[in-house]
Chains A and B, each alone.
Chain A
C-alpha cells in the first residue's frame, strides 16, 4: 500500500494518496512495520503484581496484588522525559527513572476486591469496552469432593462456597455491581466459563448446568436476562409454578387433560419434565437436554423416509446412545450472535479436568429466542471443522470491537491458512486433527491480543514462542524474531524476554508471558521461575 519502506516517505505518501476504499485503517497499520518495540529495558523496578493484561482499547493495564486481594489498575502513559543532551553521534542515554515501571505506567488506583477468605481469580478478566467496565471474579477455595446437600447439582463437579463477579468502572475503580454464586462452580481459568458479547454476559454454572444470561446496563447494573438450563424460556418457571400450584388443588384426571391439551405446544416437553421437579428427583431431564435429545431424534428421524429403516436407524443411533446423551453436561458456552449460543457438551469428567481430549464431546448451536437447538455436531465432525476453517472469525471475534476484526486467523490471512493446511496435511489422522482443532471451541472470550505485531500480514514470527493468544509460555533463551512479510529477508525487530547473558543458569524452567499493548509499540514480558518469585518484568518499547 506504500511504495516506500521508509517511514518518512510513508508519512508524505499519506498526504497525497488516498488509501483504497475502506482501507485507511489497513494502511495505517503498515506504519507498524516501521515503529516497533525493539528496545528492551530488562528487569525494571516494578511492583510485585500479577500483570493480567491491557484492555483492548489500550487505556488500562490490569494487575492484581500478589496476595490476590487487590486490583491495581495502571494507565499506560509511555516514558516521557526532558533532555538537554543532544550529541549528534550516539543515542542519548535514557534517564535513570526509565528503568522504573512507574515511568511507563501510572497507577490509577488500587481496590480491594476480595475479603479475607476470598481471592481474586487472576486468570479471569473481561472488559466491556463501550462503557469501560471491567468484570472480575473472586472466589473462596475450591472443594473437590463436594458434599454439598444440593440435589440438582451434577455429581462429580466440585463446589466453591462463594464466587463473586464484580463489575467495576475502570475509569475510577468504583464497584458498580456484584453477582454472587454460592456453592457453585464456574470455570474461571482463561475466562472459560464466562462469555461477554456486547452487553450480554453468559456465565456457565457447571455444577447446576445453568447458563446465566446477564445484561450489563449502561448504568453499570448486572441484570438477569434469563437462565438456560432447567428452563428454556423466561416464564417457564413462573408458568410451572403457577400450574403446579393449580394442579395441587385439582384432581388427577383434570391434570391429565391439562397436559394432554398442551400436546402441541412447543414448550410441552420441557413442561412435562419440569412438572416433576418438585419431587427433587434427577430422573427427569432439563429443558436444554430435552431440546437436545429431541433435535437428535428428529434429525435421525428425518434421515430416513422408510419407517422400518427409520426405526432401525433410531435404535442404532439414538436409543443405543440414549444414556450417553442423557449424561452429557454443558462444558462451555459462547455467543455466536445475540441469539445463538455455541454449547459444548461432554461427560462430567471432561468438564472439570483440563485435558479433555479423550472424552467424547459434542457441539450444539442453541437459539435462545426460539429455544431450539439449531445444529448438533460431534467433536470430530468434519463439516463443523470446515465451517471453522472457513469462518473461524465468526467463532473467535464475535465478542469484540471492530478493531478485533484485524486479529489474524486462518480465515482472513493467507499465511495463517497456509500454516493450517500444512498442519492438516502433516497430521496422521484427519479426525484426530479435526478433534484437536475443534478443541478451541467454544472460544474463550477475550483471549487474543489485538496487537498489530501479531498481524501475520505484517510480520512473521514463530507461533510456538509467541502469539496473539493470551497464554503463558515456556521461556526461550533465544530472541523472538519478527520478520517483515513484505521484505521476507528483513528482521524488523526481536524481543528477548531475558537479558543477553543473565540468569540463564538452566536450573529452573522459566515461564514467560507477554503483554502487548493493543496499539502502541509497547510490550511487557514477565518472566518467572516456578519457585522463585518475584518475577522479572521487562519493558519492550520503541525508543
Chain B
C-alpha cells in the first residue's frame, strides 16, 4: 500500500519571485534579499560579491516582500505576506544570526472576492501604514503607531474593482496611494487617494490621470525630491504628478520588473518580457521634471525582479532562466551591450517536463528536465552525488594504500604516486607523454608494504613500513636516515605530516618522531593499555606542517583518544560505544571549525567538534555511510578542504553553512583514495577500486549536480529512447516574440552530447503536445510518437491534431505514419502494445496495423468519452488513470474482449489536476491547481456499485508548488540490500524549479515519523511565527483540511540541523534515543 507518503525536496525552488535591497543585517551592511516562492535568502554585499548569510523556508507562498524602516530604527525590517493571507515583520538578530518576528498576523477576510490581478502589499514610505489589496473592492490598512508597532487592521472600500497596481506616493503629508485600474470599457486610469487613518476612509487624492496606455500595468513611485509616479505601459511611459505630466513612446514591450538606480529616483532599470534591460531616466532641472529618456542597455535572462545593488552591479532575478548578477558598463561591448554578466545562479524553473534516465548505466537515475521558458529554455541534467570524470586508469589488483609525493616540497604539483600492495610497493610517475609509468625512489623499500608516506620538510620524503621509518631526500632520492622498530615489534599503523611521524607498534606502543634535516628523532614514547587501531596527526592548527594534537583510535575499549604533541599526554578520551573498532580517524577543519572524524569498521562515521586548544570533543553525531570499513582522507577542491570516505559507498564530507554534509560519490566501492595533483591531471584524485586504479577529477562538491544545455528555445516535452540513445523533445522557438511567429519542432538529441541530430518542423500553429518512445505488438521497432494540436488563436479549443510516428534511422527522424485526430493530443501512453492517446475530452486507443503494402498505420480501436479535458494519463496493466483539467482523477478499465474502455471509478471532488501518477494498483497520486497533492484509493471492496465507483481521497497535503510532472524513479543509487532501497519513490518537477521526491513508506515507519513531525513542529518554529500545520493543510477555493497521509520530509530532515539540546528534547518527547532518531532520519536523507 502506498498510502503513507513522505514528501521531500531534492532541489529547492530556484525561480526568483521577489528581491529587495537594504540595510537589513546591520545599519552599515547592504543586503540583497531574494524570495524564491517559499524560501528567502539573505545575502551580504561584499567587495568580493554576494555572500550568503541565511536561507530559510517560509511556511507560505510569498506574495509580498518589502523592506522598510520604522521610525527611530537604524536598519530595515522585512515585511512578508503570504498567499494564504498571513503576514509577518522580521528583524535580524545579529547575536544569533537569526530572524526575529516583530509582528505577525492574519489578514484574511471571510468575505471578498480574491483579486484577479493578484495580492498587492505596500508600505507607506513614511511608515505610517501597510496597505494590502487582497479582495476586489477592499483596501486593507494596517496602521503603525508612533513607536512603529502595528495596530489593528481595517478595510476601506475601494471603488475601483479592476485594480492593476497600487503604490504609495512619496512626499505626501497624508499617506497617499496611486491606483492604476481598468474600467468597464477596458480603459486604464490612475487615481489617487489619501488614507485618513482617523476616519478609516479614503479622501480624494491630489490628482488623477485618465485614459492611459491600454497596456499600462505597473506604477513606479518616484522618491523626493521629484515625487510623483511613473506609469509603465506597453507603448508609452508616463511620468505623472500633481504638477507635471510627461510621456515618452517606447518600442512595444511588456515591462516585467523594475529596479531603482539612484536614491533620488531619477534613473530606473526596466526589464521586459524578452529579457531586454532598459534604462529610464527622468530628466529634471532642480526639482522640476522636464522629460523622460529611455535607452536599451542589453539583454539578460527574462527578469522577474531587478535589484540595483551598488557600483553598477545589478541582481536580475528570473523565473524563466538563470538569475544573474550583472554589471552595467559605461561603454558598450562589441555587440553594443552595456550589460556584462558577472555570475549566474542556476534556476531549473519552470520544469515543464522531465524524464528519469540512467545515462551512465551505473544504476543511478538522472533527471533530464525541460527547464526555463522562451529564449531562456534549456535542458538540465540533474544528478545526485559527486561524479568522477575519469582521466586515466590502469588495472591494478590488491591495492592496500596510496600516497602522492612531490619531487620537492615547494613544487606545485605531485610527481609520484606511491601504491602499496600486500608485499610490495610501487612508485608511479608521469612520464613525458603524460602517462603513468612505474619508476623508483631509491631510498624507499619496494619489497614490503608501505604503511604511510608523506612529503617532509627539507625536501625529504617519509616512508613507513612495518619495520622502519625511512627518511629519503626527494632530490637525490637517497636514504638519509632510518628509524627502526624495536626488536620483536612491528609497526602496525602509522601516520605523518611534513615534520612529524606518529606510529604504533604491537603491544600498545605509541612512538612519536620528529623530522629534521636528514634526521629522524624519536621524541616521545608512550605505552597504552590496548592496541592502537588508527592514528592521525593532520595539522589543523596555524602551522600547516606541525600538529599539536594526535588522534588515536583504540582496540578493546573502543575509544578514541586525543594526545598533545610533542608530550604525548592524553588530554581527552572518548568512548565510542558499541563493539565496532574505529578504523580510521582524521583531524580536519571546515569553515574554521575543527572536527574529529572517526570511522568505524561497520561503515558508521562519528563526528565531533573539537576545541583545538583543549582537545575537548563535543557535539557527537553519528551517521551511517556504508556497511564496510571506511578510510578517511582529506583533499582540496576549489581551495576548500573536503574529506573523502572510501568504502563500499564512497562519500565526500564537506561543510556548508557550518554544517557537515555528506554527498555520495557516484562510484561503487572505493578502497583507497589519495589526491594526485599532477601537471597533466591537475586537481585529480587517484582512486583504487575493483582491481583498478583510476585518475580522475571530481565534480564541484554539492549534493545535486546540474548540467545545463541551453536551447535558446522552449522545450515542453521530453522523452528518452534507450535503444537509440537519443532524446526526443517537443519545443518551440520564437522568432520575434509574437504568437504568430512561434515555430514548433520535434527534435532528436544525442543523449551524451545533447546535440541536435535531427529536426522535424511542425506545421504553422501546430503545437507538439506529447511525446513517447514505444514499440507495438508484432513490430520490434522502437518509435517516437508525437501528439500535436493545431492551436488557432481564434479557436476556443483545437479541433484538429495529429499523431506522428517516427523511427530513428541513421540518427534522423523518419516519419513512418501519421494519424489525424479531432483535437489536441495531450498525452500518449504505450498500452498493451497499442497506443493510448488523450485527445481533448476523450481517451482513444489505436492499434498499429500492417497494411497490405507493408507500411503501417495507426487504426482507431476504441475510445472513451466522459472528461472535460483529459490532460494527464497514466496506465498500469489494463487500468488507465486520467487526470482531468477540472474533474479530478478517474479510473478507466480496458476490456479486451469487448474492445471497450469503461469508467470504473472517479473522484467526484472538484480538483483541477496538474499531474497524476499511479503509485500502486489501488493508490493514485495527483497534484492540483492550488498547489496541493492528493492521493485517491480504488475502493474495490465497496458494498455497492456506487461505493466502488468512487475513488476515495486518502491523502491530502499542501505542497505549495505547482507540479507539472510526476515520474517514477530515483535520484540516488539503489542498493538492493538497504532498507531505503526498497522504498518506492516518485519524482516531481514544479514551476518554481523544485525537484521533489515522494516516497511511499511502510506504515510503521510512517507512524514513527508522524510522531517525530509533530514533535518537531513544537521545537522548530516557522519563520515569522507561521504555523507549519496550517501551511501543510490542504487548501483550495472550496475547503481547507488538515494534511493527512503525507509527511513533510523537509521538516523531518531538519532534525539533523538541530542543536544537541533540542534533539534531546525531541528524544524525550518521543521516548527514543537521539542516536536512533538521527539514524532513522539520516536514512531518509538518502532518498534524495
Given contacts A8-B797, A81-B866, contact A412 B161 (CB under 8 A): yes
Contact B910 A81 (CB under 8 A): no
Within the complex, which residue of B182, B792, B863 is in contact with A83, where a contact is CB–CB below 8 Å?
B863
Q: Mark A480-506, 1 if CB is under 8 A from B, else 0.
A: 000000000000100000000000000
Q: Does B992 contact A (CB under 8 A)?
A: yes
- Could you say which residues of chain A place their CB within 8 Å of the CB of B134? 22
**Which chain B residues in 897-929 approach chain A with CB under 8 Å?**
899-903, 906, 908-910, 912, 914, 929
Q: Does A79 contact B (CB under 8 A)?
A: yes
- Could you say which residues of chain A place their CB within 8 Å of the CB of B902? 80, 82
Given contacts A16-B352, A75-B946, A402-B1037, contact A22 B871 (CB under 8 A): no
Residue of A at shortest CB range from B716?
Answer: A12
Q: Does A7 contact B (CB under 8 A)?
A: yes
**Which chain A residues in 45-97 approach chain B with CB under 8 Å?**
57-59, 75-86, 88, 91
Contact B118 A413 (CB under 8 A): no
Of B107-115, B662-670, B971-979, the one contacting chain A is B107-115
- Could you say which residues of chain B place their CB within 8 Å of the CB of A59? 908-909
- Could you say which residues of chain A place their CB within 8 Å of the CB of B115? 20, 22-23, 26
Q: Does B199 contact A (CB under 8 A)?
A: no
- Could you say which residues of chain B place their CB within 8 Å of the CB of A23? 114-119
- Could you say which residues of chain B place their CB within 8 Å of the CB of A412? 112-113, 135-137, 161
Residue of B at shortest CB range from A107?
Answer: B946
Q: Does B258 contact A (CB under 8 A)?
A: no
Q: Does A1 contact B (CB under 8 A)?
A: yes
Contact A7 B1038 (CB under 8 A): no
Of A120-128, A302-310, A369-377, A387-395, the one contacting chain B is A387-395
Residue of A at shortest CB range from B862?
Answer: A84
Contact B930 A57 (CB under 8 A): no
Contact B1038 A57 (CB under 8 A): yes
Contact A8 B157 (CB under 8 A): no
Given contacts A26-B116, A86-B860, A130-B1039, contact A18 B798 (CB under 8 A): no
Q: Mark A103-122, 1 if CB is under 8 A from B, else 0.
A: 00010100000000000000
Contact A11 B826 (CB under 8 A): yes
Of A28-36, A284-292, A325-333, A339-347, the one contacting chain B is A28-36
Q: How many whole Å from B624's CB to the nearest CB in chain A?
A: 39
Contact A403 B111 (CB under 8 A): no
- Could you say which residues of chain A place their CB within 8 Å of the CB of B909? 57, 59
A390 to B899, CA, bound (A): 59
Q: Does B167 contact A (CB under 8 A)?
A: no
Q: Mark B814-842, 1 if CB is under 8 A from A, else 0.
A: 00000011101010000000000000010
- Could you say which residues of chain B place their CB within 8 Å of the CB of A149? none
Contact A18 B868 (CB under 8 A): no
Contact A18 B991 (CB under 8 A): yes
Q: How many whole Å from B438's CB to the nearest CB in chain A?
A: 58
Contact A520 B868 (CB under 8 A): yes
- Could you say which residues of chain B place their CB within 8 Å of the CB of A17? 350, 373, 991
- Could you say which residues of chain B place their CB within 8 Å of the CB of A1? 116
- Could you say which residues of chain A place their CB within 8 Å of the CB of B162? 414
Residue of B at shortest CB range from A36?
Answer: B796
Residue of A at shortest CB range from B739?
Answer: A4
Q: Does A323 contact B (CB under 8 A)?
A: no
Q: How many whole Å from A461's CB to the nearest CB in chain B?
A: 15
Within the complex, which residue of A16, A80, A402 is in contact with B991, where a contact is CB–CB below 8 Å?
A16
A28 to B929, CA, bound (A): 8
**Which chain B residues in 369-406 approach chain A with CB under 8 Å?**
373
Q: Does B83 contact A (CB under 8 A)?
A: yes
Contact A16 B350 (CB under 8 A): yes
Given contacts A82-B900, A542-B841, contact A406 B1037 (CB under 8 A): yes
Within the complex, which residue of A75, A403, A415 is in contact with B1038, where a contact is CB–CB below 8 Å?
A403
The residue among A12, A35, A88, A520 with the most chain B CB atoms within 10 A of its own CB is A12
- Could you say which residues of chain A place their CB within 8 Å of the CB of B116? 1, 20, 23, 26, 457
Contact B161 A417 (CB under 8 A): yes
Q: How many whole Å from B846's CB to the nearest CB in chain A?
A: 9
Contact B119 A21 (CB under 8 A): yes
Q: Does B752 contact A (CB under 8 A)?
A: no
Q: How many whole Å from B858's CB to the nearest CB in chain A?
A: 10
Q: Does B886 contact A (CB under 8 A)?
A: yes
Q: Does A401 contact B (CB under 8 A)?
A: yes
Q: Does B583 contact A (CB under 8 A)?
A: no
Q: Mark B870-890, 1 if CB is under 8 A from A, else 0.
A: 010000000000000111000
A43 to B964, CA, bound (A): 42
Within the complex, which residue of B17, B111, B137, B906 is in contact with A397, where a contact is CB–CB below 8 Å?
B111
Contact B789 A8 (CB under 8 A): yes
Q: Does A155 contact B (CB under 8 A)?
A: no
Q: In the complex, given contacts A35-B885, A84-B899, A402-B1037, what are 10 additional A-B residue pairs having Cβ atoms less than 8 angstroms apart? A: A8-B824, A11-B871, A12-B716, A16-B352, A18-B319, A80-B864, A84-B863, A106-B949, A397-B111, A414-B184
Give the 5 A-B residue pairs with the shortest CB-CB distance, closest first.
A20-B118, A80-B866, A21-B63, A86-B860, A82-B900
Footprint of A on B, CB under 8 Å?
15, 17, 37, 61-64, 83, 85, 110-119, 134-137, 157, 161-162, 182-184, 319-320, 350, 352, 373, 714, 716, 739, 767, 769, 789, 791-798, 820-822, 824, 826, 841, 844, 860-866, 868-869, 871, 885-887, 899-903, 906, 908-910, 912, 914, 929-931, 946, 949, 962, 964, 991-992, 1036-1039
* Interface pairs (24), CB distance under 8 Å: A4-B793, A12-B767, A16-B320, A21-B64, A23-B117, A26-B115, A34-B796, A35-B869, A57-B910, A75-B908, A75-B946, A77-B949, A80-B866, A81-B864, A86-B863, A88-B822, A393-B111, A394-B111, A405-B111, A405-B113, A412-B136, A414-B182, A414-B183, A521-B868
